[in-house]
């Protein structure tokens, strides 16, 4: 039978079965598709999982608490290596430690809550200022002017063996 005469429909053999060439094609397509799915999902997840993993926390040692001047705001810097996907990269930055009365201690992130610029402490005006868009925060990290609406992030911290440790997440 001429395939054009059937309008492109599969040819039917006398016993009612589909043409053998089409059946072989469907079997092959199903095997190839199944094999691609069985091997492809693990391969794709292996290569994409590190890029999609959530940040982890790291306790960073900022040294002896006694080095912090009571009643002041101190800039503390850190540097360590982190694994990002398959790369090991240096991580550098600063945090701000505020010491108050009665050994009260607060540790603030230096990242502005507006567009993630680094804030600086201005001792003469007693404010944190973001140089990118003139956002200002009070000594407790609360926004007082400019575009930021959220306060500076207060970092979880603890004192172990008379050393200040702060939890940084990446």
Q: How does pLDDT run across 110-158, given as a tens digit for each residue?
A: 999 999 999 999 999 999 999 999 999 999 999 999 999 999 999 999 9
Q: Which tops the pLDDT comparison, 97 or 22?
A: 97
Q: How many CA atoms lie within 13 A of 135 on its CB side?
A: 24
Place 89 in a pLDDT band, splitting at 50, 70 and 90: confident
Place 21 in a pLDDT band, splitting at 50, 70 and 90: confident
Do the beta carbons of residue 129 and residue 120 sit within 8 Å? Answer: yes
Residues 24 and 105 occupy one common structural domain: no
* Number of folded domains that form the chain: 2
127 vs 143: CA distance, rounded Å: 10
77 vs 103: CA distance, rounded Å: 21
- Chosen domain end from 37, 52, 67: 52
Residues 78 and 39 occupy one common structural domain: no
Range of the domain at 158: 57-169
Residues 30 and 84 occupy one common structural domain: no
62 vs 50: CA distance, rounded Å: 29
Provide the CATH number for the domain around residue 133.
2.102.10.10
């Amino acid at each position: 039978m001429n395939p054009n005469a059937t309008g492109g429909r599969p040819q039917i053999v006398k016993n009612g079965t589909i043409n053998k060439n089409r059946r072989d094609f469907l079997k092959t397509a199903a095997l190839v598709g199944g094999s691609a799915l069985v091997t492809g999902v693990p391969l794709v997840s292996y290569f994409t999982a590190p890029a999609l993993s959530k940040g982890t926390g790291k306790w960073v040692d900022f040294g002896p608490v006694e080095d912090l001047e009571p009643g002041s705001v101190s800039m503390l810097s850190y540097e360590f290596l982190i694994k990002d996907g398959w790369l090991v990269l240096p991580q550098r930055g600063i945090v701000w430690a505020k010491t108050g009365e009665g050994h009260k201690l607060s540790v603030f992130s230096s990242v502005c809550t507006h567009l993630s610029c680094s804030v600086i402490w201005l001792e003469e005006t007693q404010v944190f200022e973001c140089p990118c868009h003139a956002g200002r925060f009070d000594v407790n990290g609360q926004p007082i002017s400019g575009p930021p609406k959220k306060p500076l992030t207060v970092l979880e911290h603890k004192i172990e063996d008379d050393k200040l440790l702060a939890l940084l997440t990446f």
